[in-house]
Amino acid sequence: MIGDPTIEQKPTRDGYGEGLVIAGKADPNVVVLCADLSESTRSLFFKETFPDRFVQLGVSEQLLAVVASGMAVTGKVPFISSYAMFSPGRNWEQIRTNIALNEANVKIAGPHSGVSVGPDGATHQAVEDMAIMRCIPTLTVLAPCDVHETRKATIAAAALVGPVYFRFAREKTPVFTTPETPFTIGRAEIFRDGNDAAIIACGPLTYNALMAAEELATQGIECRVVNNHTVKPMDEAAVLAAARECGAIVTVEEHQVQGGMGSRVAEILAAHHPTPIEFIGVQDRFGQSGDPNELIEHYGMGVSHIKAAVKKILERKAKGR
Amino acid sequence: MPHVHSKKVEELEIMANTVRQDIISMLVEAKSGHSAGPLGMADIFVALYFHLLHHNPKKPDWPERDRLILSNGHICPVRYATMARAGYFPVKELATLRKFGSRLQGHPERLKLPGVETTSGPLGSGLGQAAGMAYAAKIDGKRWRTYCLMSDAEQATGLTYEAMLFAGRNRLANLIGIIDRNNIQIDGNTEDIMPLEPLRAKYEACNWRVIEVGGHNIAQFIEAVEEAKATENRPTCIIAHTIPGRGVDFMEYKYQWHGVPPKPEEAKLALEQLRTLGGKIASEHE
């Protein structure tokens, strides 16, 4: 299936919209708040099913966070959706103080993350969101890999008591898990076995990691691929097992390399099991307009880049540094 | 017909004076904190906790209670002192304000002290949270009300404007905003720093009813809240004209007292003035 050019493609944000409806049926306290982007964030699916539990706020992302906080402390389970650049980009302080410090049970959905947002350009491409969310105490941070996993993450977020941030993509990306693939917040899944090097990925780029691993296998290099969807609290055991058993790590994320998923992996390894690591992600730059695939290649997150990073890390592993 | 007897008003005024004395004692003990705002809002806090709010100090999480949101968290000494006097916690705990391990954080936190409805301090966040609570109560058909106390200076925040629009558009008649219009902020007088007028017209333009009162006239304030409660189909904003530092002559009207506590000798003088003024306030209503 990996590498099949006819693989089904769907935007992960669709999984959010579908998950909201399922979560809303399971719990009458689930409400959805929107800042003028109901179609684009797919919160429209919920609005059509539960119009009385859908709240439109207009272009007011700070208000999105504080109204949700107020509703949450009265017992509601609010999901707030805008573009990741605006929520949590614009309303960070309200999320930090009025949601996290206040222990308000709010779920923050960040669609339009990554440079793959495409033609809208750098203003709308959130590549810093995980960094600014994972530094906030009590927040859970998720980066699901495809439409099925995003649906599961949405349902799991509703069931979890506590604030959650999760990000997803605008464009269609490969559907490479199934409704039956296991998903538990806080537990990374090994999507491919191998002990030469481990590729720890999150989000839709996990598919690129699998593609790279398959191509490397033809050259006799067997990579483990870990779907590390929970950026916080990260599955430290899975990261350490990958480090001990493979001895070389490549992290892959559609995010600035500073402060994101790879940074957390490096923190864990530095503290417990220093291991050579290479970081695939946006290298301290802003995005720009373009075709999503073109941008992924331009910013060094394509399959060829992951393969090159694996080869580099294997050289470092061989030299012991 | 007035909603409150003059005898009750006198009792409330005496309690407000006690609360002012508590505020001075707390601040001098804490050696940091805000003086002017808490003193200016003592009458309104006492009117709320001792007359207007449906609440139970022994059951702070009673689901049907009215919610009181303090948006400008920095004036929390007045909230803490009033809550202690109302029976939420022992008065002697007021001496722990701003100290390590205290439930009385420098800016109030919901999870630290039962009865504090939300964590606040960063200005501008209160009205939206209050609107969220009022919205939730409305869709659930609950009868409790949400009161949101705000400073005047935080009316400059964009987030407050977002909340004004939202509450007006959703006709949140169960939401009552109260603005402490004391005309000062930390850097100076509000109309010099960033003019807020015409404040009344701004709220009215967002579909709010606006009532202006003297913030130290307890009977008038109670009357305004009763009018607000009787208002249908829109939220009410009560603009309370107050004197910052009220009750201590060397603090009154002075923005320099916004964010500093009294020194011990100043506190002594302040307490003397407040004790004397206590008798004077009572006599004016005889």
DSSP SS3 for A309: helix
CB contact under 8 A, A67 and B132: yes
> What is the nearest CA distance from B164 to chain A, expressed in angstroms?
10
pLDDT tens figures, A222-242: 999 999 999 999 999 999 999
What phi, psi does A175 have (nearest 5°)? -95, 100
Neighboring chain A residues of B132 at a CB cutoff of 8 Å: 66-72, 74
pLDDT tens figures, B5-48: 999 999 999 999 999 999 999 999 999 999 999 999 999 999 99
Beta strands in A1-89 (DSSP E): 9-11, 30-34, 54-56, 77-81
CB contact under 8 A, B165 and A58: yes
Q: How far is CA A82 from CA B42, B126, B183, in A?
A: 40, 21, 36
> Above 80 in pLDDT, residue A176?
yes
Q: Is residue B44 included in any domain, yes or no?
A: yes
Neighboring chain A residues of B136 at a CB cutoff of 8 Å: 31, 70-71, 74-76
Report the residue of A31, A32, A55, A67 to disrupt the B interface, i.e. the one with the largest count of B CBs within 10 Å.
A67
Domain of residue B40, residue span: 6-284
Q: Is residue B277 included in any domain, yes or no?
A: yes
Q: Which of A52, A74, A101 sits opposite B136 (nearest CB)?
A: A74
Q: Is residue B1 included in any domain, yes or no?
A: no
> Above 50 in pLDDT, residue A104?
yes
Indicate the number of domains in chain B.
1
Cβ atoms B244, B189 nearer than 8 A? no
DSSP SS3 for A148: helix
Positive or negative: CA dihedral B154, B158, B163, B169: positive
Amino acid in the structure at residue A147: V
Q: What angle do CA A298, A304, A305 make, to 5 degrees?
A: 60
- CATH code where residue B188 lies: 3.40.50.970
Of A18, A61, A253, A278, which residue is the catalytic one?
Answer: A61
Q: Please report which residue ranges of A74-165 form alpha helices under DSSP H.
A: 92-94, 129-134, 147-159
CB contact under 8 A, B109 and A97: no
Report the residue of A29, A53, A74, A92 to disrupt the B interface, i.e. the one with the largest count of B CBs within 10 Å.
A74
Whole-angstrom Cα distance, residue A257 to residue B141? 48
> What is the nearest CA distance from B284 to chain A, expressed in angstroms?
41
Whole-angstrom Cα distance, residue A174 to residue A149? 12
CB contact under 8 A, A70 and B136: yes
Contacts of A39 (CB under 8 A, 6+ apart): none
Q: Is residue B210 included in any domain, yes or no?
A: yes
> Above 80 in pLDDT, residue A182?
yes
Partners of A201 in the beta sheet? A227, A252
Q: Is residue B197 included in any domain, yes or no?
A: yes
> Above 80 in pLDDT, residue B285?
no
pLDDT tens figures, B167-191: 999 999 999 999 999 999 999 999 9
- Domains observed in chain A: 10-174 (3.40.50.970), 189-319 (3.40.50.920)
Q: What is the ipTM of this complex?
A: 0.92
Neighboring chain A residues of B122 at a CB cutoff of 8 Å: 93-94, 97
Is A61 annotated as catalytic?
yes
Which residue of chain B comes nearest to A64, CA vs CA?
B128
Given pLDDT bands bounded at 50, 70 and 90, which one contains residue A274?
very high
